[in-house]
């Protein structure tokens, strides 16, 4: 019995290979189709008529696309930086202190956006910021920065906290034995060891902010479209190969950041 349990493999279950192949087909065939037709010479979305880069050229020459892309990148960098800073402080407070009453509740509150549907968060932010807009008259990008930062905190928090939990405390204890204060220990010991987790949290927050449509759509004011909301608006009118080209570039950027995230997060303390 014990030998049979040790030799158990989920890949040996009936139908495992078929389900795995079907899953990958459903996930990646639509994406591959989008990428392929972004190079289609014709405007047709269903008939291939030759290879061409004209839709990428059209996207680069589209001033509105450039504007929303710059806005989206600036928003993602700012929001992920703020979220990473806050997540680092939260992770330190929940892993480098003795257990205290309410610690589990704090962990749940930090991860709340992961458990609540994004549309609920977006609606709550819409109502909250609407009152502030009416009271102050301010309708700038600050609302989007605040909303994206709050939404990205749990995504940045998870890799940072995981990194802290797996770090060996020997070097930190040695620094304390050598009369280093808390700040010196953090600056010269903890932070360098934690840096891969911080970078992973930043990159994950960057991707989440870049891809967020629902919260952006609920919070933004006029003239504050990001690339994701701009594409959504264009698709509502008509789907053109130019949208395929933009989506492919968007996909490429997200894939690069995600790959970097996994490379950085795999580094051990």
Place of tokens 């309708």: 139
What is the 8-class DSSP label of residue 213?
A: -
Question: CATH number of the domain that 136 lies in?
Answer: 1.10.3720.10
Domain count, the chain: 1
Q: Is residue 39 part of a domain?
A: no
| Three-class DSSP category at 181 | coil
Number of H helices, E strands in the chain: 14, 0
Cβ partners under 8 Å of residue 96, min gap 6: 164, 190
Q: Which domain holds residue 70?
A: 63-265
Q: Is residue 195 part of a domain?
A: yes
The pLDDT value recorded for residue 234 is 79
Residue 51's DSSP bridge partners are 40
Distance from C-alpha of 70 to C-alpha of 132, rounded to nearest angstrom: 26
Q: Is residue 178 part of a domain?
A: yes
Q: Is residue 181 part of a domain?
A: yes
The token pair at 173 is: 């204890």
The pLDDT value recorded for residue 1 is 46
The pLDDT value recorded for residue 177 is 75
- Ordered mean pLDDT values, 10 residues apiece, the chain (269 residues): 60 80 89 86 77 85 87 93 93 80 78 84 91 89 93 91 83 79 82 87 89 90 86 77 83 81 66
Cβ partners under 8 Å of residue 206, min gap 6: 76, 77, 80, 257
The pLDDT value recorded for residue 143 is 93
């Amino acid at each position: 019995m014990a030998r049979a349990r040790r030799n158990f493999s989920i890949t040996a279950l009936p139908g495992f290979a078929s389900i795995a192949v079907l899953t990958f087909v459903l996930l990646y065939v639509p994406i591959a189709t989008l990428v392929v037709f972004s190079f289609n010479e014709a405007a047709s979305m269903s008939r291939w008529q030759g290879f061409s880069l004209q839709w990428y050229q059209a996207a680069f020459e589209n001033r509105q696309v450039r504007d929303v892309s710059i806005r989206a990148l600036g928003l993602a960098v700012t929001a992920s930086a703020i979220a990473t800073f806050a997540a680092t402080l939260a992770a330190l407070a929940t892993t480098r202190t003795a257990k205290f009453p309410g610690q589990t509740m704090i962990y749940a509150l930090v991860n709340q956006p992961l458990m609540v549907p994004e549309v609920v968060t977006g609606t709550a932010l819409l109502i909250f910021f609407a009152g502030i807009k009416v009271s102050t008259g301010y309708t700038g990008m600050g609302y989007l920065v605040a909303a994206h930062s709050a939404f990205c905190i749990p995504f940045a928090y998870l890799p940072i906290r995981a990194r802290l939990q797996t770090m060996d405390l020997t070097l930190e204890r040695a620094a304390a034995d050598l009369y280093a204060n808390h700040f010196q220990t953090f600056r010269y010991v903890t932070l360098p060891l934690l840096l891969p987790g911080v970078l992973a949290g930043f990159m994950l927050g960057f991707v989440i902010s870049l891809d967020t449509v629902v919260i952006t759509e609920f919070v933004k004011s006029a003239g504050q479209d990001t690339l994701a909301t701009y594409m959504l608006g264009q698709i509502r009118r008509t789907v053109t190969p130019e949208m395929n080209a933009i989506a492919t570039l968007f996909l490429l950027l997200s894939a690069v950041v995600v790959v970097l995230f996994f490379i950085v997060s795999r580094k051990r303390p």
